[in-house]
Homo-oligomer: A and B are copies of this chain.
Amino acid sequence: MPVTLKDIANRVGLSVTTVSRALNDYDDVSPATKALIRRVAQEMGYRPDATAQKLQKGRTDTIGFVIPTFGPRFSDPFFSEFLAGLGNQASEENFDVLVSTRAPGPEEDEAYRRLVESRRVDGLIIVRTRHHDPRIAYLADQRFPFCAFGRSDLGVDFPYVDVDGTQGLREAVGYLVGLGHRRIGYIAAPGNLMFNTFRLQGYRQGLEEHGIPFEPDLVVEGDLTERGGFQAAQKLLARHPTAILAGNDLTALGAIRAAQEAGLEVGRDISVIGFDDIPLAEHTHPPLTTLRQPIYQIGKTVCRMLLQVIRGEPVPDGHVILSPELVIRQSTGPAPAGE
């Protein structure tokens, strides 16, 4: 049985209150008793009960994070990287992280409600923000602390970090055009994701800047998984692009696989560019040219901002937009002659 304040109080013949105050270093306890109580607490191996403290203080010192997941072999390394940043920052500030894994959709929204309503966490992290994101609408409505990786179109104010996907895609298109590509396909993310809109916009702007007409046929929707990328790329390849931009790295990997199965050599017959720069992007076959976002850092930053909100502190720079960095590896090359 764990040692409680009462046990200590009985042992030293003082009240629970005094013990509590001594242990919390209040200055209205005599140094002598303070020392005594501390020593005894130490001896008895006392540890405060987190649950009781939570109940009393009305806070849980815990933040929640719902990871979108699809089941076996669909986990996105992006999230381990993000979680590492998030978790390390949280533990630095003595917070715990409660993780739920849910497939995106109603179940996921339900997980958010549950965490809020049961008061299990003091704040929530949102990733992959959506158009009219019900999670954001809900949390803002409840005035529940949250922080997002991604912007929103809901017109509510909240702290976020995002990456400028528009600029990123424009840059990527420009880079490809510079290599002589003109038929550039795009495997989009699901249309309800905010970042998809920005990236698609960048894609179109990039084409326009170089006088390349936009062809709706060259845009296919993926689902951010490798398999989805594979299938989308198969459709796309029928339209003979010389380059493919992908909504994220996993999608790009699927596209690479599809191209290779079609007998193409990626980096020579066709170019592929991803988005994220997950740690493994440099170890694919061929190594993946991609738009890097500093995932780990973003996880840390998002966590830090959320804790500021929770503590009621101002969040000096609550709207961070980072520029993705085009990392050129071997999955891209000059457009094949002819075609």
Contacts and interface: CB of A to CB of B under 8 A. Distances in A.
Interface stretch (A9-17, A24-32, A54-62): A54-62
B91 A279 contact: no
A8 interface: no
A300 to B, nearest CB: 9
B79 A101 contact: no
Interface of A: 2, 47-52, 54-55, 60, 62, 67, 69, 71-77, 79-81, 83-88, 91, 96-102, 111, 117-120, 226, 253, 256-257, 279-280, 282-287, 294, 296-297
Contacts of A72: 81, 84-85, 294, 296-297
A97 B100 contact: yes
28 contacts: A2-B119, A49-B55, A49-B118, A50-B119, A51-B55, A55-B55, A67-B83, A71-B88, A71-B296, A72-B81, A72-B84, A72-B85, A72-B294, A72-B296, A72-B297, A74-B279, A75-B279, A77-B77, A80-B83, A91-B100, A91-B111, A96-B98, A98-B98, A253-B283, A257-B282, A257-B283, A280-B283, A284-B285
Copies of this chain in its oligomeric complex: 2
A287 B69 CA distance: 24
A196 to B, nearest CB: 22
Contact of A50 (B52, B120, B256): B120
Contact of A87 (B77, B100, B279): B100
Contacts of A296: 71-73, 75
A47 B283 contact: no
Contacts of A76: 80
A91 B2 CA distance: 28
Contact of A80 (B51, B79, B282, B283): B79
Residue of A81, A96, A256 most packed against chain B (CB within 10 A): A96
A249 to B, nearest CB: 9
Contact of A100 (B50, B81, B96): B96
Q: Which 6 A/B pairs are nearest by Cβ-Cβ distance?
A: A285-B285, A87-B101, A47-B117, A72-B296, A50-B118, A75-B80
Contacts of A69: 84, 87-88
Given A51-B54, A75-B81, A296-B73, A226 B279 contact: yes
Contacts of A52: 55
A69 B272 CA distance: 30
Residue of A81, A85, A87, A279 most packed against chain B (CB within 10 A): A279
Contacts of A47: 117-119
Given A118-B48, A283-B257, A101 B84 contact: yes
